[in-house]
Chains A and B, each alone.
Chain A
């Protein structure tokens, strides 16, 4: 078990330089990784203890996290041998101590538009189970939206339900660019999707595109080639999220704990190699 703390000045410098260099990508980086790093404050905080093992082909990781200032979020990462994030799961916790178990199904995320795909895409679980419609927003993936081929790209989050169906696209200011038929029905039961597709959706079939993101814990963020939205809005542009096998490994586990003040600490464990299940 390794536990380390983050140096705030170094992170601020790295994040600032990254923002200068990457522009929009930096904005996403801000949301998903750097924002918390830039806000990472002041010193050493959480104590993280990890243990884990293979169970029925899944990697089970148990984390004991403690922080006297009060815990906020705990994020679980799976990295491949070059540091690319294959899996990410975020949980909200409270109190000064937490005992958490994460189960990784040796998978990673692929986003497809029906003809092309990108993997491993940075995806996070989301949503408050108590909020209406949250089951349609179980996962989100950061992406850059191009409304048309020459338009300036917009940082957005694409939301998917638990089965990988695309439901909404929202930018960082909260502006919505797409609403699925199910989402429309929840928000306005009397609305017809035909009228919404004709005037309500900002996306242009055959012109708009999304560039999804992959994250390397050392090198930062990058984007995949654009996926063109060339299907109908009623087909959700054929955009889907799919969990696929992660490969043979080895893999590294990282647990990032964030306290109520935004301070962060990271614990890591590995390498982990999936057990071979050889049967006659």
Chain B
């Protein structure tokens, strides 16, 4: 809290003092931190950002006959996993692994800059609270019925699969999510409250693989956002007996495009992977 206030105080931001609210607090446990930056009149906000210096490792298996219920939920700085499994009167074999690492050591940098000769301001929030989350589950069920839904979200990107009214289900699913950092930028006129720029640029990745064989109903969906704007989404529904296999890799570099130069691709591993790039002479 004190570091943020001191830093902000040096930026001559008092013009917006009444409008912009900040919070950066330590959690009771001492290991987690959260903050939220908002501009009151325009409604602009970073949203509540919360994470901690934590790690979690969970693994195990269950095999047997009868009923089974499972609830899992975790959210570290908008990197989420949510699982619901409810199986009745059947035989089940499931193995799982959940690994989470999160770090909030770095302070969040908030800067407010007034452009000369007007009432235009630029507010930036530079957050480096990385999160890595790996979830793996294999599930094999035969019986009266199973409901199985899992969803993963990473700063407005998501992928989800659900199986309903399924009497026979075999699934293998892995999901690796990472968040390196996030960048917020707001440009507005303090008189008119007109927002010129509203950027949210997290450096994030979701890598998801699903193999399933089922008899019943299933839904698979995903969504990808550029900043706060959805740019790609899909939903599939199945009813019957299907083998469903999906692989998904969504990533966002989270770069501030004002820093791009003409050759920015050279710095990035995507250059080698991009099938649309051809070398000279091709």
3 tightest Cβ-Cβ pairs between the two chains A and B: A232-B93, A232-B140, A194-B63
Footprint of A on B, CB under 8 Å?
61-65, 91-93, 140, 142, 168, 170, 213, 243
- Taking a contact as CB atoms under 8 Å apart, the answer to whether A181 and B65 are in contact is yes
- Chain A: CB-nearest residue to B143: A235
Q: Chain A, 209-239, contact with B by CB distance < 8 Å: what is the 0/1 string?
A: 0000000000000000000001111110010
Alpha-carbon distance A55/B168, docked complex (angstroms): 38
A114 to B214, CA, bound (A): 10
Subset of 25 A-B contacts with CB under 8 Å: A114-B170, A114-B213, A115-B243, A181-B65, A181-B91, A193-B63, A193-B64, A193-B65, A197-B63, A230-B170, A231-B140, A231-B170, A232-B63, A232-B91, A232-B93, A233-B93, A234-B63, A234-B64, A234-B65, A234-B91, A234-B93, A235-B93, A235-B140, A235-B142, A238-B142
Whether the pair A194, B140 counts as a contact (CB closer than 8 A) is no
The closest CB in chain A to the CB of B93 belongs to: A232
Residues of chain B lying within 8 A (CB to CB) of residue A114: 168, 170, 213
- Are the C-beta atoms of B140 and A234 separated by less than 8 Å? yes
Q: How far is the CB of A205 from chain B (nearest CB, A)?
A: 9
How many whole Å from B75's CB to the nearest CB in chain A?
31
Cβ of A115 to closest chain B Cβ, rounded Å: 7
Report the minimum CB–CB distance from A116 to chain B (whole Å). Answer: 11
How many Å lie between the Cα of A181 and that of B143 in the bound state?
A: 15
Task: Report A-chain residues with C-beta under 8 Å of the C-beta of B65.
Answer: 181, 193, 234
Q: Give A contacts to B, CB under 8 Å.
A: 114-115, 181, 192-194, 197, 230-235, 238
Bound state CA distance, A114 and B243, in angstroms? 11
Alpha-carbon distance A233/B61, docked complex (angstroms): 14
- Residues in B whose Cβ lies below 8 Å from that of A230: 170
Per the bound structure, the CA–CA distance linking A233 and B95 in Å amounts to 13
CB neighbours (8 Å) of B213 from chain A are: 114-115
Inter-chain CA distance A232–B142, complex, in Å, is: 10
User: What is the minimal beta-carbon distance from B85 to any residue of chain A, in angstroms?
Assistant: 15
Closest residue on chain B to residue A197 by CB atoms: B63
- Count chain B CB atoms within 10 A of each CB in A193, A230, A232, A233 and give the residue with the most: A232
Contact B243 A235 (CB under 8 A): no
**Nearest CB on B from A233, distance (A):** 8
Residues in A neighbouring B63, C-beta threshold 8 A: 193-194, 197, 232, 234
B residues within 8 A CB of A231?
Answer: 140, 170
The docked-state distance in angstroms from the alpha carbon of A230 to that of B140 is 10
Nearest CB to that of A196 among chain B residues? B63
User: Closest approach, in angstroms, between the C-beta of A120 and any C-beta of chain B?
Assistant: 24
Q: Which residues of B contact A234 (CB under 8 A)?
A: 63-65, 91-93, 140
Chain A contacts for B64, CB-based, 8 A: 192-194, 234
Nearest residue (CB) in A for B170 is A231
A115 to B92, CA, bound (A): 19
Instruction: Tell me the complex Cα distance, A114–B169, Å.
Output: 11
| Distance from B53 Cβ to chain A, minimum over Cβ atoms (Å) | 36
| Chain B residue with Cβ nearest A192 | B64
Residues of B close to A238: CB separation below 8 A: 142
- How far in angstroms is the closest Cβ of chain B from A86? 27
Q: Which residues of B contact A233 (CB under 8 A)?
A: 93
Contacting residues, chain A, for B93 (C-beta < 8 A): 197, 232-235
Sample of 13 more A-B contacts, CB < 8 Å, known A181-B91, A193-B64, A232-B91: A114-B170, A114-B213, A115-B243, A181-B65, A193-B63, A194-B62, A197-B93, A230-B170, A231-B140, A232-B140, A234-B91, A235-B91, A235-B142
* Closest Cβ neighbor of B64 among chain A residues: A194
* Complex Cα spacing A193 to B65, Å: 9
With CB as the reference atom, state the residue of chain B lying closest to A235: B142
Shortest CB-to-CB span from A231 to chain B, Å, is 6
CA distance A114 to B91 in the complex (A): 16
A15 to B61, CA, bound (A): 49
Inter-chain contacts of B168 with A (CB < 8 A): 114
Which residues from B are CB-within-8-Å of A181? 65, 91
Q: What's the minimum C-beta distance from B236 to chain A, rounded to whole angstroms?
A: 20
How far is A236 from B65 in the complex, measured between Cα atoms in Å?
A: 13
CA–CA, A234 to B213, complex, Å?
17
CB nearest to A194 among chain B residues: B63
